Chains A and B, each alone.
Chain A
Amino acid sequence: MNIRDKIKERLGAKIVVWDERSTRRIYFTIKKEDLIETVEFMFRQLGLRFSTATAIDTPQGFELLYHFSWDPAGEFYTVKVLLTDKKHPRVDAITNIFPGAEWMEREIWELMGIDFAGHPNLKRLLLDDDWPKEDYPLRQKG
């Protein structure tokens, strides 16, 4: 059974939208409550490599994209989570599953202002200490 079928079988109805853009680019949307379970399954059980995460400021809310690479087949899986609360965007940290996500979440926290619940070391990574609090440079202004 290939990886995409394993993901579909395991997550089942938790997948809100499944979008195969091409054989190598698979995007799927889940609810934010299911994030930890999904990431744990993909990283720990299926052995996908976490590549990075992208945060996007959209009119509907903040979109978080977690990019995973399945290197043996050259497939790239993107898990989408939409955070609709634009005032206080908050999602569970995946750093507790593997340490490779620590810097990524710190970067998104300081540049996009998304709070990662349970992150062990949520402090500034790139911005200077003098940078004003609550001013997130990557958010869309106006």
Chain B
Amino acid sequence: MSHRVIVPIGPYHPLQEEPEFFQLYVDGENVVDIDIIIGYNHRGIEKLSESKHFDQVPYLVERICGICSSSHPYAYVLAMEDILGGEINIVPERALYIRTIIDELQRIHSHLLWLGLAGHFIGYNTVWMWAWKYREPVLDMFEMTTGNRNNYAMYKIGGVRRDIKDEDIPALKKMLDELAPALDLFRGALSDDPVIKARLKGVGTLTKQQAIDFCLVGPTARASGVNIDVRRDEPYGVFDRLDWNVIIEIDGDIYAKTMCRVLELYESASIIRQCLDKIPKGEIDANIKDIPAGNGIGRVEAPRGECFHYVLSDGTNRPVRHKIRAPSFMNVASNKVSCVGGTISDATITLAAVDPCYCCTERVAVLSGPEDKKIMNGWDLIKLSQEKTEKLKRELSDGRPQ
């Protein structure tokens, strides 16, 4: 007899930073439906922004997310510069390069963070440790150039707040050089390891049509063959002057999403290298004093996808309306289709595949029959996922020496 069971995942988890709550409806091992409940971390930032001076807002929006803490202030200053006549017409050359460098460093640390967590969820704890080991020097670079490991406070309307010193450039290049072998290692593991392939291929698949219907953005959309990237489509910073590629995968499964992110790491490293070689001398700030009445839209390709800011100004020193749409807002909703049809042991990695700030804990409660009630917490779910990998490892190495 089959039981229809609700598996609550969330809302608190010490592993990741943002609480979300997923209720999986399962029949045996299979997920048949999912309820997504968010809002535990709603801090009213849009409303708060209306009470801040234009120059204070970047510090506020920077704190929306500790991982994308360059994307939000960047999108905001782009929206303000849209009112003033466009980033390219206002911001000094050197500042454009610095903005691009900070934006790409952020992508590297964010993708490495995700890669580590994904490794942990499927039982590859070595990947977890290695990915985070290589993320650490990236944060050191942030500390060296901006003074902060997170929340960099670099962006201001009309420029950046701090210069990158010439003597810091060799250290940045050295970090990129040391990152390269690690990236080869991750890409090698991904393309050669049969267990990773068996575990991630065909799991949590989103078709191109689903990606379009759910209006997905970033690597989640690109892994399903949707050819979008704000850096190329509406270039900001100096992305239009550099040589780099938009990574597109077509399968739409978690393997494709992982591959997409790993390959993007190479592109980001190449972008930073080119910027460091080409960065000109000069001013870093245009000293903007007043914001005229008007409205502006700023878009940035955050590590998770398009980050959108809309600002309405009435000529005073505060925004009348500040609308923010983070990429996960679009991507998390797609779990509605990517999880259903899979198994519970795939749910942890599927829910994490869109790179949300995802969390999981609580328990499994069986709805019918008190005698077979089973309690599981978030660690048990991760264990379930890791055990599946172990099982696959055994099956795939059957008859062969380990």
Q: Which residues of A contact B (CB under 8 A)?
A: 22, 24-25, 47, 49-52, 54, 56-57, 65, 67, 69, 71-74, 76, 78, 98-104, 124-128, 137-138
Contact = CB atoms under 8 A, between A and B. Distances in A.
B333 A137 contact: no
Nearest to B321: A56
24 contacts: A24-B234, A25-B297, A49-B212, A52-B308, A52-B329, A52-B330, A54-B310, A54-B321, A54-B323, A69-B233, A69-B306, A71-B227, A71-B228, A73-B233, A76-B234, A76-B297, A98-B212, A99-B213, A100-B214, A100-B216, A104-B325, A126-B38, A126-B42, A137-B47
A25 B82 CA distance: 9
A22 B47 CA distance: 28
Contacts of A67: 297, 308, 310
Contacts of A54: 310, 321, 323
A103 B333 CA distance: 8
Contact of A72 (B39, B213, B233, B320): B233
Contacts of B39: 124-128
Nearest to B211: A100
A29 B82 CA distance: 20
A57 B322 CA distance: 12
A76 B299 contact: yes
Contact of B333 (A52, A56, A69, A102): A102
Given A99-B213, A126-B39, A56 B312 contact: yes
Interface of B: 38-39, 42, 44, 46-47, 82, 86, 212-216, 227-228, 233-235, 297, 299, 306, 308, 310, 312, 320-321, 323, 325, 329-330, 333, 336
Contacts of A101: 215
Given A100-B213, A104-B329, A128-B39, 8 more contacts: A49-B212, A69-B299, A69-B306, A76-B234, A98-B214, A102-B333, A103-B329, A138-B46
Interface secondary structure of B, over-half rule? mixed
Contact of A51 (B47, B213, B321, B325): B325
Contacts of A102: 333
B233 A98 contact: no
Given A54-B321, A124-B39, A137-B44, A22 B234 contact: no
A49 B228 contact: yes
Contacts of A128: 39
Contacts of B227: 71
A52 B323 contact: yes
B125 to A, nearest CB: 34
Nearest to A100: B215
A102 B306 CA distance: 18
A100 B330 contact: yes
A49 B42 contact: no
Nearest to B333: A103
A106 to B, nearest CB: 10
A65 B39 CA distance: 23
A57 B228 CA distance: 32
B233 A71 contact: yes
B268 to A, nearest CB: 20
A98 B215 contact: yes
A45 to B, nearest CB: 13
B306 A51 contact: yes
Contacts of A99: 213-214, 333, 336
A133 to B, nearest CB: 16
Contacts of A137: 44, 47
Contacts of A69: 233, 299, 306
Contacts of B212: 47, 49, 98
A100 B42 contact: no
B55 to A, nearest CB: 22
A35 to B, nearest CB: 17
Contacts of A125: 38-39
Nearest to B312: A56
A140 to B, nearest CB: 9
B79 to A, nearest CB: 11
Contacts of A51: 215, 299, 306, 308, 325
Contacts of B86: 22
Nearest to B39: A126
A51 B227 CA distance: 15
Contacts of A71: 227-228, 233
A126 B40 CA distance: 7
Q: Which 9 A-B pairs have the closest CB atoms?
A: A100-B215, A126-B39, A74-B234, A52-B325, A54-B323, A126-B42, A74-B233, A100-B214, A71-B233
